[in-house]
Amino acid sequence: MTDASISGAAQDMIGKQAAPQTCEVTRTAIRRFARAVGDDNRLYIDEVYAAGTQWKGTVAPPTFFFTLGYYDDSPGTGLREDGRPIGTELDVPLPVSQTVGGASDVEFGEPVRPGDVITTSKRVADVYCKEGKSGLLYFTVIETTFTNQNGELVARERATFIER
C-alpha cells in the first residue's frame, strides 16, 4: 500500500456518506431484471407458484439490488467521456482514466418483494493504491446498504473498483 500516492482530497473522502435514496419496487422492474439476467425462475414472476415456496410470494432475484441506486443519480446528459456521471457526491478525485476490474462482496438479508420501498445508503469505505505491473492501481471501496420499509437489511454490498 502506498498511501503517499493518494491525495489528501481523496483520503478525505473515506467515510463520506451520500444522501440516502429511496426507490419503489414494481413487478415490472423485477421481471425486466430477471429477463436481462436470463433467469427464467418462476419464483420471480409467477405469484401462484411463488406462494407455495419458502418465500410465500414472488420475490426479486438476490442481485436485484443492482437496479437500485447504482448510477441512479445519473442524468442522461452532461456525462463524462466514458459515460459515467460527473460530480456525484462520492466522486473520489484520483488520477485515473481506465477501469481495470472490480470485485463485490454481498451479504444478503430479507428478500425484495413487489411493493417494497428500498432505501439505498452509500459511503466510501476505503481508498488505497498498489503497485501493478504497469504502474499504480487505485482501489475505491464503496459500501452500499439496502434496507426495506420495515428497516430490515436487504443487502449490503462492498464493491471494489480498480482503476489506473
Partner 1 sequence: MRELKFEDMEVGYEIPPLARTPSNLQLFMFSAVTWNCHRIHFDADFAREHDKLPDVLAQRPLLGSFLCQMLTDWLGDSGRIARLQWSNRGPAVPGDRLTCKGRVVGKSRTADRATVQCEVWIEKDGGEIIVPGKAEVVLTCRQT
Kindly list the residues in this chain that would bind partner 1 in the complex (CB under 8 A).
29, 32-33, 35-39, 41, 43, 53-54, 61-63, 66-67, 70-72, 74, 76, 79, 81-85, 97-99, 101-108, 159-160
Shortest separation between residue 8's beta carbon and partner 1, angstroms = 28
Where b means 16+ CB within 10 Å and e means fewer, 113-145 reads bbebebbbbbbbbebbbeeeeeebbbbbbbbbb
Residue 145 DSSP class: E
Q: Could you tell me where the beta strands, DSSP code E, fall in the chain?
A: 21-24, 99-108, 117-132, 135-147, 153-163
Shortest separation between residue 136's beta carbon and partner 1, angstroms = 17
Region of residue 34 (phi > 0: left; psi between -120 and 50: alpha; otherwise: beta)? alpha
Shortest separation between residue 99's beta carbon and partner 1, angstroms = 6
CB nearer to partner 1: pick between 84 and 131: 84
CB nearer to partner 1: pick between 12 and 152: 152
CB nearer to partner 1: pick between 54 and 150: 54
CA–CA dist 154, 164 (Å, integer): 32
Shortest separation between residue 102's beta carbon and partner 1, angstroms = 5
